[in-house]
Amino acid sequence: MSERLVVIGADAAGMSGASQARRMRGAHDLEIVAFERSTWVSYSACGTPYFVGGYVPRVEDLIARTPAEFAARDIDVRIRHEVTAIDAAARRVTVRDLEHARDLTLDYDALLYATGARPRRPAIEGAELAGVHELHTLDHALALRRVVEARPRAAVIVGGGYIGLEVAEALMHEGIATTVVTSPAAVLDPQLDTDMGERVVAYMREQGIAVETGLRIACLAGADGRVTGVDCQADGQSARFPADVVVLGLGSVPEVRLAEAAGIPLGESGAVSIDDHMRTGVEGVWAAGDCAEAYHRISGRPVNFHLGTIANKQGRIAGSNLGGGDEAFPGVLGTAITKVCDLEIARTGLTEAAARDAGFDVIAETFDSTTTAGYWPTAEPMTMKVIADGANGRLLGAQIVGGSGAAKRIDAVAMALWNEMTVEAMVNVDLSYAPPFSGVWDPVLVAARKAADARARN
Amino acid sequence: MSERLVVIGADAAGMSGASQARRMRGAHDLEIVAFERSTWVSYSACGTPYFVGGYVPRVEDLIARTPAEFAARDIDVRIRHEVTAIDAAARRVTVRDLEHARDLTLDYDALLYATGARPRRPAIEGAELAGVHELHTLDHALALRRVVEARPRAAVIVGGGYIGLEVAEALMHEGIATTVVTSPAAVLDPQLDTDMGERVVAYMREQGIAVETGLRIACLAGADGRVTGVDCQADGQSARFPADVVVLGLGSVPEVRLAEAAGIPLGESGAVSIDDHMRTGVEGVWAAGDCAEAYHRISGRPVNFHLGTIANKQGRIAGSNLGGGDEAFPGVLGTAITKVCDLEIARTGLTEAAARDAGFDVIAETFDSTTTAGYWPTAEPMTMKVIADGANGRLLGAQIVGGSGAAKRIDAVAMALWNEMTVEAMVNVDLSYAPPFSGVWDPVLVAARKAADARARN
């Protein structure tokens, strides 16, 4: 008799896990059933802002695989099916068939909990008004695209994180007057240090995106049930930003409600606690992706990042182990990249602020350079910040803001960070050079040398 | 009394060394005199093809620092001064002042031999004809730029190396019908494996650059003292490629004649043998750059690459040690990057062919992907080849050919190679992802996984 794997959540982590388990074990040996409460499976959540902005014309372009394609690989994906309870002792899930409004139960031998994250929704007066949107799912993207096509006059994005910035670019790209309001002193906090985030703010303003930092959202104003603006406060002053569309981009939280109810232990980050094989604290239950923790290789702490890269890797490793393999997940650095218009932004490891909070004796050096040889006709500015441990020179993190070709350099730094290199050891690494690509000393090497020099001076 | 450092050759290695020695020791303590036989110092040799092609309009743009700027830093650079002999026992050089046609001698305490490389010039009948050029120095670039501005009808580039390809692009960019003829089966041999070089050939032909491979040059044909074409042979057949300008790009050899005459030992590569502190086998004599060897971290052999990256690093380390420091050069991987029109090309470590020659049990996997998420509007093809040691999984090298953003990914691979990672360990490294930059699994990770899977199958 074959075993049954049940997967909760049919997106990056869940379907990576299902696919990998299937690669390792045949259909006669392992039945795989995945439940998805939405109508969409296995899509690129990171691509949704670009669908909103019209860069990616068809929503189908964002879909990696359909339920039919999974079916052809003997993976039974049931959309519009929401798992409502896990009985871990009985190894049984209760599932609501949303289409037919009925419940069913299904026994499992192994369960992969891959419910992802949901938008953070602090109580904001007016959040229920028409014209207030968020962007977390493909359905949200479809709704927001319809709004864009109806040509609103003015949009306000509440929140300066990745989604906020990507939506701001999308709306500006479509010719909509766009304002970003955010409470920290700069955008992309805490992904970037404030000094680097301020460079992004300056660029966005140059591009015609209004950015208002240091503002606390008081409420959303409305008339006749429709949003008309965002009321903010700072230093006792208040300001209203008129808008006929508001997008809330206030981050996301791990979707752990079902796990909590089932007694699956959460970790200090608030996400499901897992070991390096993706096993939870409950026998037969595994977890992966945005709902689960990951070991941070630099801080040594469990963290909960919501990144497709981590979800895919954790899902694949869960699938390997569910399929009878023995693979450990080596942890994360928090490497991420995005762009706003033509400004590229990337980060890895700890920021200067996070490194100080973690108690490191921090060296932080910022270096202004160009994306190519300085004399190359398409040279654009790039700024790189390197954070190192003053005690032993070990690289702790880096951030890059710059023109075309700047940001993917973060991967070379991430590879150095992964290998626990010191900034001193990085200085002479044999990286590539030709005038259309960099100066003879790539900015990665120069930034490392600046940090090494700063250490030598101390 | 202050010591005196004499530098032979005032380009990348020599002036990096002089500058670093000066940073470490004041002018009262160390006198620095650099002799340069040409009229140019400290320029970007890698930028010269782009001056020829008109991308970089002013030759001054290629000059990092002038003799006057060095003088302001207490470094005495004497152009048009050719060192003609080294008396290592007496620690004295004989120098020809080319401007005034007279000789002088100068004693030194330390000598930095940084003579660079010179073009390889095999005996080819007709090489002395007018209209036959090479591109090794800034003077060559100025001459070739004048030729381009005179609008020749047809150019033939003899040689398919970096310089050959960059000059071919430059000439095509200026609207000159251009043919590259080369003896290997593809271009960029042996920097790339033939399968990867063939992709470059196919692209160049699409761009309208004729590429003729597998041809032996018989002679250059001429009339009235001017070149009229290139005669080639293959398989007993002969062919003539008409040309009113011919550029010979047949590689370069280390400039070691002066060292040989002075009894400074050469290594197995034919370049000056040095230790990891850049010391030659003769007391008081140091060497760096194209004229010197470097330790190859993968093959474990001394090699002689002519790359600005290595010259700058070796020069800087020589300067540190000459200045009283204690810095070891950790070796090279042979990382290099270039482009032809919009095709980016990069490589690091050993090719498949070189790895086989070195006796490795070779795993080689090639992976076709895109430079961004597949659905992103500017996605372009990229191909990555990974070479690994079948015995233990250790990464040995990689090659990349592809569209915008493809090639600088080699730096992440170089960083992995530097740290002696296995392809298995690379699979889960936390590299960056967003749709405008890559798929969720960066091609670097997928290529590593393909190699790991190939090992698992074996």
Q: Render pLDDT for B126-155 as a digit per residue (tens, 0 to 9).
A: 999 999 999 999 999 999 999 999 999 999
**Who among A317, A421, A434 is closest to B46 (CB)?**
A434
pLDDT at B321 over 70: yes
- Chain A CB contacts of B346 under 8 Å are 432
Task: Give the mean model confidence (pLDDT) for residues A316-325.
Answer: 97
**Who among B307, B334, B428 is closest to A313 (CB)?**
B428
**Who among B46, B47, B405 is closest to A408 (CB)?**
B405
Which of A43, A277, A432, A445 is the best mutation test for B, with the most CBs of B within 10 A? A432
From B444, which residue of chain A is nearest by alpha-carbon distance?
Answer: A411
Pairwise CB contact (< 8 Å): B429 & A414: yes
User: What is the token pair recorded at B223?
Assistant: 């009339």
Task: State residue A172's pLDDT score.
Answer: 94
Task: State residue B331's pLDDT score.
Answer: 98
- Chain B CB contacts of A376 under 8 Å are 50, 55-56
Condensed to tens digits (0 to 9), the pLDDT of residues A18-41 reads 999 999 999 899 999 999 999 999
- Chain A CB contacts of B377 under 8 Å are 55-56
**Who among A336, A418, A434 is closest to B338 (CB)?**
A434
pLDDT band at residue B383 under the 50/70/90 scheme: very high
Q: CA gyration radius for chain B?
A: 23
Task: Give the mean model confidence (pLDDT) for residues B42-53.
Answer: 92
From B376, which residue of chain A is nearest by alpha-carbon distance?
Answer: A56
Average pLDDT of chain B is 96
Using CA atoms, how far apart are residues A387 and B193, in angstroms rounded to an integer?
38
Burial of A369-387, coded b for 16+ CB within 10 Å and e otherwise, reads bbbbbebbeebbebbbbbb
* Number of residues that make up chain B: 458
Separation of first and last alpha carbons in chain A: 67
Pairwise CB contact (< 8 Å): B415 & A419: yes
Would residue B291 show up in a list of annotated catalytic residues for this protein? no
**Who among A46, A375, A444 is closest to B47 (CB)?**
A375
**Strand partners for B260:** none
Which of B430, B442, B444 is the best mutation test for A, with the most CBs of A within 10 A? B430
Task: State residue A234's pLDDT score.
Answer: 85
Pairwise CB contact (< 8 Å): A375 & B61: yes
Pairwise CB contact (< 8 Å): B432 & A339: no
- Chain A CB contacts of B61 under 8 Å are 375
Q: The tokens 């304002």 sit on which residue?
A: A179
Q: Which of A46, A219, A232, A291 is catalytic?
A: A46
Which of B432, B449, B457 is the best mutation test for A, with the most CBs of A within 10 A? B432
Helix pair A162-173, A138-149: axis angle to 10 deg: 30
Condensed to tens digits (0 to 9), the pLDDT of residues B329-342 reads 999 999 999 999 99
Tell me if residue B455 falls in helix, strand or coil: helix
pLDDT band at residue A458 under the 50/70/90 scheme: confident
pLDDT band at residue B23 under the 50/70/90 scheme: very high
- The secondary element (H helix, E strand) that includes residue B181 is strand B177-181
Residue B63 makes CB contacts below 8 A (sequence gap 6+) with: B40, B41, B42, B43, B44
**CA distance, residue B356 to nearest chain A CA (Å):** 23
pLDDT at B95 over 70: yes
pLDDT at B401 over 80: yes
Pairwise CB contact (< 8 Å): B309 & A436: no
Our CA dihedral for A296, A302, A308, A309, rounded to 10 degrees, sits at 30
Among left, alpha and beta (phi > 0; psi -120 to 50; other), residue A251 is left
Pairwise CB contact (< 8 Å): A433 & B334: no
Task: State residue B114's pLDDT score.
Answer: 98
Is residue A412 within 8 Å of residue A444, measured between CB atoms? yes
**CA distance, residue B22 to nearest chain A CA (Å):** 16
Q: Which of A229-243, A405-419, B279-293, B374-388 has the least mean pLDDT?
A: A229-243
**Strand partners for A111:** A6, A285
- Chain B CB contacts of A436 under 8 Å are 50, 339
User: What is the token pair recorded at A311?
Assistant: 């979800």
Distances (CA, A) of B328 to B25, B275, B292, B313, B325: 19, 9, 15, 11, 10
Among left, alpha and beta (phi > 0; psi -120 to 50; other), residue A269 is alpha
pLDDT band at residue B234 under the 50/70/90 scheme: confident
Q: Which of B46, B219, B232, B341 is catalytic?
A: B46
Task: State residue A232's pLDDT score.
Answer: 94
pLDDT at B34 over 70: yes
Among left, alpha and beta (phi > 0; psi -120 to 50; other), residue A55 is alpha
pLDDT at A429 over 90: yes
Task: State residue B237's pLDDT score.
Answer: 86
pLDDT at B309 over 80: yes
Task: State residue A226's pLDDT score.
Answer: 97
Pairwise CB contact (< 8 Å): B47 & A435: yes
From A338, which residue of chain B is nearest by alpha-carbon distance?
Answer: B434
In percent, how much of chain B has pLDDT > 70?
100
Using CA atoms, how far apart are residues B257 and B117, in angstroms rounded to an integer?
11
Pairwise CB contact (< 8 Å): B307 & A433: yes
Pairwise CB contact (< 8 Å): B430 & A55: no
Pairwise CB contact (< 8 Å): B435 & A50: yes
List the A110-113 sheet strands across, edge first: A76-79, A30-36, A3-8, A110-113, A285-287
- Chain A CB contacts of B333 under 8 Å are 430
ipTM above 0.85, yes or no: yes
Q: Is this prediction's pTM over 0.90?
A: yes
Using CA atoms, how far apart are residues B70 and B72, in angstroms rounded to an integer?
5
pLDDT at A209 over 70: yes
Residue A175, exposed/middle/buried by CB under 10 A (0-12, 13-18, 19+)?
exposed
- Chain B CB contacts of A321 under 8 Å are none
pLDDT at A374 over 70: yes
**CA distance, residue A3 to nearest chain B CA (Å):** 26
**Who among B307, B312, B437 is closest to A441 (CB)?**
B312
Task: Give the mean model confidence (pLDDT) for residues B173-200.
Answer: 97
pLDDT band at residue A1 under the 50/70/90 scheme: low
Using CA atoms, how far apart are residues B19 and A300, in angstroms rounded to an integer?
41
Task: State residue B1's pLDDT score.
Answer: 62
Condensed to tens digits (0 to 9), the pLDDT of residues B405-428 reads 999 999 999 999 999 999 999 999
- Chain A CB contacts of B405 under 8 Å are 405, 408
Which of A297, A343, A415 is the best mutation test for B, with the most CBs of B within 10 A? A415
CB-based contacts of A255-260 (< 8 A; 24+ apart in sequence):
A255/A9, A255/A115, A255/A116, A255/A117, A255/A118, A255/A290, A255/A291, A256/A115, A256/A291, A258/A8, A258/A83, A258/A84, A258/A85, A258/A86, A258/A113, A258/A115, A259/A86, A259/A113, A259/A115, A259/A287, A259/A291
From B294, which residue of chain A is nearest by alpha-carbon distance?
Answer: A430
pLDDT band at residue B2 under the 50/70/90 scheme: confident
From A315, which residue of chain B is nearest by alpha-carbon distance?
Answer: B428
From B63, which residue of chain A is nearest by alpha-carbon distance?
Answer: A375
CA atoms within 13 A on the CB side of B363: 25
Pairwise CB contact (< 8 Å): B348 & A317: no
pLDDT at B458 over 90: no
**Who among A309, A331, A430 is closest to B414 (CB)?**
A430
Which of A188, A384, A411 is the best mutation test for B, with the most CBs of B within 10 A? A411
CA angle B120, B123, B126 (to 5 degrees): 110
